[in-house]
Amino acid sequence: MWIKPLVLENLKIAFQSIRGNLVRSVLTILIIAVGISALVGILTAIDSIKNSITTEFTRLGANTFSIQSRSMRIQIGNQRNRTRNYSYISYFQARDFRERFIFPASVSISVSATQIGTIKFESKKTNPNITVRGIDENFLQTAGYEIESGRNLTFQESFDGNNVALVGAALVKKLFANDVDPVGKSISVGSGKYQVVGVLKDKGSGFGSSSDQIVLIPFTNVRQYFPRPNMNFRISVMPESPQLLDAAIGQAEAVFRNIRGLNIIDDSDFVVEKSDNLVKVLLDNIKYVTLAATIIGFITLMGAAIGLMNILLVTVVERTREIGIHKALGANSRSIKQQFLIESIIIGQLGGVLGIILGILAGNGVSALIGSSFIVPWQWMFGGVVLCLIVSLASGVLPAVKASKLDPIEALRYE
């Protein structure tokens, strides 16, 4: 029962000491807060970036993969031989793959028309920064788009090259008044006129660009109105079930090798990329940033620990006579040690709480800039509290031991 009043008394003395040395205590609290806020803030921002990356690429479909072309070179000694050079996937190869790939999956063919398109509707027009892409009727499913109003392209429109278009949500806001239904209206894409048959749902922006500033037209139409040499078509495949992904990749590689005319001994001159490959690469690189941020935070906290220890050592010297009085009245070394440790912990936790609040605000400021959701980093908050406790104990042990070992007679004589 005697422990509780003693702890309360030590808490009271600790707060009195903090108020008595307010400037030094506030500076130490701020140093600890800076260290914790740097740690929590950067790690919260990194979590926001990870969440944004994962969300952005999840929209592409967790079980989607694409086939892309690459050149092949073989080097034997100092001699280099280029055995295959398909720098692009042609229209006929892409179409042939779609027809020959017999698997429970959706196959999409798409091709870029331009990244700097200007779209017009009546007297309004956009800046020349609109993405125009040629697609088939399966593209929306494999790319993670949904229809807000109207309809998707049909199989017939995709392969006949009709002048029809799907428009992104951002374009609708720029070109059409609130009371105007875009569906059925005619827009100008380059030099051609296209009838809007559908409006895409808002996907939002990510990585500094918007996926809603887009016009989708039939891929055969792109061949006719946006011609260029060696047009590179993209093949995307989405199996009906994620469990079929590996089997679909194997089947797709076999079919496309046959289309490319590769022999059994030839290496594949194309790559099959899963939709989550880029996510893994980005997240793997981000972990080094996390490590660097953690090291910076720990260095700052080491400075805070040294500052806190210095303040407590000075406090021991200034309160030598007070310690002597406490010992003369019956306080033992344990209670004196506890008193200084409590003071150290209070300063550390005050700095920790302030640092966590500032860190969460800073981290979510970054989250707001990239359009990600608000994150409460519970693990970093808990880690920050524990870290401050460790710093406080490490900083307070030496001053506490020094204070507890003071001789009461010598302490009472101290001036």
pLDDT in tens, 73-84: 444 344 444 445
Amino acid (one-letter) located at 336 = I
Structure tokens at 47: 């979590």
Give residue 157's pLDDT.
92
Write the burial class of residue 8 (CB in 10 Å: 0-12 exposed, 13-18 middle, 19+ buried).
exposed
Give residue 204's pLDDT.
60
Give pLDDT < 70 ranges for the chain: 1-7, 9-10, 54-62, 70-87, 204-210, 275-283, 318-320, 322, 326-327, 329-331, 371, 406-415
Q: Which residues contact 141 (CB under 8 A, 6 or more apart)?
A: 61, 106, 108, 238
C-alpha closest to that of 256 among 271, 238, 241: 271
Helix boundaries (H) for 198-276: 219-225, 245-260
Cα 103 to chain center, whole Å? 34
Cα 206 to chain center, whole Å? 10
Q: Which residues contact 92 (CB under 8 A, 6 or more apart)?
A: none
Structure tokens at 345: 């912990």
Give residue 207's pLDDT.
45
Reported as a single tens digit per residue, the pLDDT across 241-282 is 878 888 999 999 999 999 988 888 878 888 888 766 666 666
Give residue 62's pLDDT.
57
Indicate the pTM of the whole model: 0.57
Give residue 60's pLDDT.
55
190 — alpha (psi -120 to 50), left (phi > 0) or beta? left
Give residue 192's pLDDT.
87
